[in-house]
Amino acid sequence: MKLSSHYNKVSIIVTLSVLFFGAVIYFFAINNIAESLHDDHLSEEVAEVLEYINLNKQLPKQRDFDEDQIKFSKLKSTHIATRFYDTVYNNPRVNINRAGRAVEGSLVFKGDLYKFNIVISKESTEYLLQLIATITLTLIAALLLVLFLTNRYLLKDLWKPFYRILYKIKAYNVLEIEELQLTPTKVNEFKELDNAVYVMSKRVKHDFQNLKHFTENASHEMMTPLAVITSKLDTLIQDETLKQEQLDQIHDIYSAAGKLSRLNQSLLLLVKIENNLVGDIEQLNLDRLIDIKTRQFQEVLLSKDIQVTTALASKEITCSKYLIDILLNNLFSNAIRHNTANGKILIKLSNSQLVFQNTGLSIPLNNETVFDRFEKGKTSDGIGLGLTIVKNICNSYNWDLDYIFTDSLHTFIVKFR
Amino acid sequence: MKILIIEDEQGLRETITAYLTEDNNICESCYDLQGAIAKLAFYTYDFVLLDIGLPDGDGFAVLNYLKDQTRSEAVIIISARNSLDDRIKGLNIGADDYLIKPFHLAELKARIIAVFRRKSTNSNNSLVFNEIVINLMGRSVEVNGSAIILTRKEYDMLLYFIANKGKVIAKTALAEHLWGDEMDMHDNFDFIYSHIKNLRKKILDLTSNDYLKSIYGIGYKFTDE
What tens digit of pLDDT does each residue of A52-89 get?
A: 888 888 777 765 556 677 888 877 777 778 888 888 88
Task: Give the pLDDT confidence score for residue A140 in this predicted structure.
Answer: 85
CATH number (3.40.50.2000, 3.30.300.10, 3.40.50.2300, 2.60.130.10) of B2-119 reads 3.40.50.2300
Q: Is B185's CB within 8 Å of A296's CB?
A: no
B103 → closest Cβ in A230, A255, A337 = A230
Q: How confident is the model at residue A380 (pLDDT cuts 50, 70, 90)?
A: low
Q: How many angstroms separate the CA of residue A232 from the nearest CA in chain B?
A: 6
Whole-number Å distance between alpha carbons of B105 and B115: 15
Whether A336 contacts A306, CB under 8 Å: yes
Of A237, A248, A382, the CB nearest to B168: A237
Residue type, A271: V
Query: How far from A142 is each of A27, A129, A134, CA to CA, in Å?
Result: 20, 20, 12
- DSSP codes, A218-252: HHHHHHHHHHHHHHHHHHHTT-TT--HHHHHHHHH
Residues of chain B with pLDDT under 50: none
Question: CB–CB of A336 and B168 under 8 A?
Answer: no
A229 has pLDDT over 60: yes
**Which residues are registered as beta bridge partners of A319?**
A282
Residues B71 and A307: their CA atoms lie apart, in Å, by 54
Q: What is the mean pLDDT of chain A?
A: 85
Any CB–CB contact under 8 A between B105 and chain A? yes
Closest residue by Cα to residue A136 from A30, A35, A33: A30
pLDDT given at position B182: 64
Confidence (pLDDT) at B181: 64
Of A204-213, A251-260, B184-193, least confident by mean pLDDT is: B184-193
Q: Please say if the pLDDT value at position A114 is more than 90.
A: no
Whether residue B180 lies within 8 A of chain A, CB to CB, comes out as no
Q: What is the pTM of this model?
A: 0.68
In the prediction, which pLDDT does B199 show? Answer: 92
* Distance between A341 CA and the closest CA of chain B, angstroms: 14
Closest Cα partner for A222 from B101, B1, B220?
B101
Q: Are A303 and B182 within 8 A, CB to CB?
A: no
Residue A374 identity: F
Q: Which of B12, B216, B218 sits opposite A250 (nearest CB)?
A: B218
B216 to A381: CB separation less than 8 angstroms, yes or no: no
Range B192-220 burial, b when 16+ CB lie within 10 A, else e: beebbeebbebbeebeeeebbeebebbbb
C-alpha closest to that of B174 among B225, B117, B110? B110
Cβ <8 Å between B186 and A300: yes
The whole-angstrom separation of Cα A365 and Cα A9 is 51
Instruction: Tell me if B102 and A231 make a contact (CB, 8 A cut-off).
Output: yes
The residues spanned by each domain of chain A are 3-139, 189-274, 281-415
Where does A81-238 show beta strands of DSSP type E? Answer: 83-91, 96-109, 112-121
CATH superfamily of A281-415: Histidine kinase-like ATPase, C-terminal domain (3.30.565.10)
pLDDT of res. A347: 94
In the structure, what pLDDT confidence band is assigned to residue A356 with cuts at 50, 70 and 90? Answer: very high
Judge: domain B126-222, CATH 1.10.3720.10.
no
Is A248 part of the contact surface with chain B (CB cutoff 8 Å)? yes
Which of B167, B171, B173 comes nearest A238 by C-beta? Answer: B167
For residue A307, pLDDT over 80 is answered with yes
Is it the case that residue A176 has pLDDT exceeding 80?
no
pLDDT value at residue A364: 84
Residue A378's pLDDT band (cuts 50, 70, 90):
low
Residue A237 sits at the chain B interface (C-beta within 8 Å): yes
pLDDT at A129 over 70: yes
Give the one of A235, A244, A336 whose C-beta lies nearest to B216's C-beta: A244
A141 vs A213, which has greater pLDDT? A141
Percent of chain A residues past pLDDT 90, beyond the cut: 18
A294 touching B (Cβ < 8 Å):
no
Note the pLDDT of residue B50. 93
ipTM exceeds 0.90, yes or no = no
For residue A30, the model assigns a pLDDT of: 86
Q: Which residue in A has a C-alpha nearest to residue B167's C-alpha?
A: A238
Determine, for residues B84 and A235 on separate chains, whether the beta-carbon distance falls below 8 Å. Answer: no
The values of phi and psi at residue A112, to 5°, are -100, 150
First-to-last CA distance in chain A? 34
Which residue, A335, A336, A330, is CA-closest to A304?
A336
Within chain B, all domains assigned CATH 1.10.10.10 are found at 126-222
CB contact A271 to B (< 8 Å): no
Pairing of β B212-215 and β B219-222: antiparallel
Sheet holding B47-51, edge to edge: B26-30, B2-6, B47-51, B74-79, B97-100
For B179, name the nearest residue in chain A, comparing CA atoms only.
A296
